[in-house]
Homo-oligomer: A and B are copies of this chain.
Amino acid sequence: MSLDDTLQPHRAALMTALEEEDGERLGVLLGELRSADIGEIVEDALGEDEEGLSVALALLDGLHLERRANVLGYLPGEEQRAVAEAMEDKALLLLLEEMGSDERTDLFKVLDEDRREALLRRMAHREREELKRLASYEEGTAGAIMTSDYVAIPTGMTVSRALMRVRQTAPDAETVYQLYIVDPEGRLAGTLSLRQLMVARPGALIDDLMIKDVISASVDEAQEEVARTVARYDLLALPVVDADQRLVGIVTHDDAMDVVESEATEDIHKGMSIGALEDGVSRVPLWSLYRKRVTWLVLLVFGNLFSGAGIAYFEETIAAQVALVFFLPLLIGSGGNAGAQAATLMVRGMATGDVGVKDWGKLLGRELLVAGSLGLTMALAVAPIGVIRGGEAVAMVVAVSMICIVLFGSLLGMCLPFVLDRLGWDPATASAPLVTTVIDASGVVIYFGFATAILSGV
């Protein structure tokens, strides 16, 4: 993580205060910064060297408990673990207690088994059970990103009492702007915004005001689905329910935003056949980066053997007219580029919900027209070069091959995500490298096939 330029002077001032052991000045400086920014400076220090950890701890020590908990919440997993490991159980427990339930759970999950056990033993029964429950949800689901710090109002309450309840829970709740009404069995009965509550008659019953048809997510729903719902309906928070419709948490808009961003990063990486990284590219361990990249690269080496086989098959044609090889990278490259474009457009369209499986036919027709025009344009661009390099016959072979390869490549690139989806795979597996490799092999056959047919007659 690179430290933001605007934070550099702040960091320098903090370092000076630390060196001079000027606690008062440190407090003032920290008071001028936002938690997210302190988090970034602490993260930067931790990435530095041996001494980084003690600097980070000194910075955290300069904060009062609530802010320390906030700052810790902004650190990535690795950095959280480093800080937590350097702290005593008692201090860490105090911090955990102060954190929001979703951040507490995330921090808890990066600790090692022994530490977790030690901490759980020192917790009160209710807290322990709550933490264990939240930590048990699978990564990437609604349960893993939700918080249990929401404002729940029992059915049957009046508006004035509900307002009082809101005031009481204000300091601890993640959001007080959306209230969730639960029946005696804990089932989600309705929702009400604070805005509606504020303009309602104080004596009115919540049950008469609440919206009963609540949009909610189930606890094991994929996090990208959750984020999409939040975005689609412009929600402040989305309630999460278990199999019995009991309210178990909420996903707030800021956490949904983080999901949208990290899912986009994952999709972009997948588009280049890179597996999901557990951290930013500048921080992820080298071994992990290697593993996430090597799998498909090696698989595609073998995939590329089909291109080689195609070339071996046409070796006679090539030997007879070596000049043909001149156009080989150009033709298969162009087909690969057009095909990767088509695949990418479909994969992203499917991810954002713009493209559905049943649009397939219509999109095929559109791609036929666009790719045909693209192939024609590119054939016109390459034909003169064909004439110069090998005469009219070669130019014809190259131009016709270009049209066919671009058209075939684009249609293949377009269809692959749908086929993968039908097979139950992630459509994003239709990455640029995969599509390019498949088109390379087809391009070799198309090109040398035409060459053999047309030039053998010359």
Contact = CB atoms under 8 A, between A and B. Distances in A.
Contacts of A436: 333, 336-337, 436
Given A289-B370, A433-B340, A257 B231 contact: yes
A322 B325 CA distance: 10
29 contacts: A34-B215, A34-B233, A194-B194, A230-B257, A231-B257, A260-B261, A261-B352, A267-B268, A268-B344, A269-B348, A272-B432, A280-B349, A281-B346, A281-B349, A283-B354, A290-B373, A293-B370, A301-B330, A311-B326, A312-B323, A312-B326, A319-B322, A329-B332, A333-B436, A336-B436, A340-B432, A341-B433, A432-B432, A436-B436
B290 A374 contact: yes
B437 A333 contact: yes
Interface string A432-446: 110011001100100
A363 interface: yes
Contacts of A370: 286, 289-290, 293
Interface string A214-238: 0100000000000000111111100
Q: Does more than half of chain A's interface fall in helix, strand or loop, or is it mixed? A: helix
B36 A233 contact: yes
A268 B271 CA distance: 8
Contacts of A311: 325-326, 328-329
Interface stretch (A82-90, A135-143, A378-386): A378-386
A206 interface: no
B344 A269 contact: yes
A330 B311 CA distance: 11
A433 B325 CA distance: 20
A300 B334 contact: yes
Interface in A355-370: 355-359, 362-363, 366, 369-370
Contact of A330 (B166, B230, B308, B362): B308
Nearest to A263: B264
A345 B274 contact: yes
Nearest to A233: B36
Contacts of A2: 353-359
Q: How large is the interface on A (under 10, 10 to 19, 20 to 34, 35 or more residues)?
A: 35 or more
A5 B261 CA distance: 26
Given A289-B366, A329-B441, 9 more contacts: A1-B354, A2-B354, A167-B198, A261-B264, A281-B348, A282-B359, A297-B337, A304-B333, A319-B319
Count this chain's copies in the assembly.
2
Nearest to A315: B322
A170 B305 CA distance: 66
Contacts of A257: 230-231, 253, 256-257, 260
List the 10 shortest-distance A-B pairs measured between CB atoms, nearest first.
Answer: A2-B356, A264-B264, A280-B354, A307-B329, A304-B330, A234-B254, A308-B326, A337-B433, A272-B344, A281-B345
A273 B337 contact: yes
Interface in A235-271: 235-236, 253-254, 256-258, 260-261, 264-265, 267-269, 271
Contacts of A93: none
A170 to B, nearest CB: 5
A351 to B, nearest CB: 9
Interface centre among A234, A312, A319 (most CB of B within 10 A): A234
A319 B308 CA distance: 17
A333 B300 contact: yes
A334 B303 CA distance: 10
A99 B142 CA distance: 33
A199 interface: yes
Contacts of A345: 269, 272, 274, 281
A176 interface: yes
Contact of A334 (B199, B304, B326): B304
Given A194-B177, A322-B319, A440-B333, A282 B374 contact: no
A233 B166 CA distance: 24
B328 A322 contact: no
A26 to B, nearest CB: 18
A274 B271 CA distance: 14
Nearest to A441: B329
A450 interface: no
Nearest to A283: B354
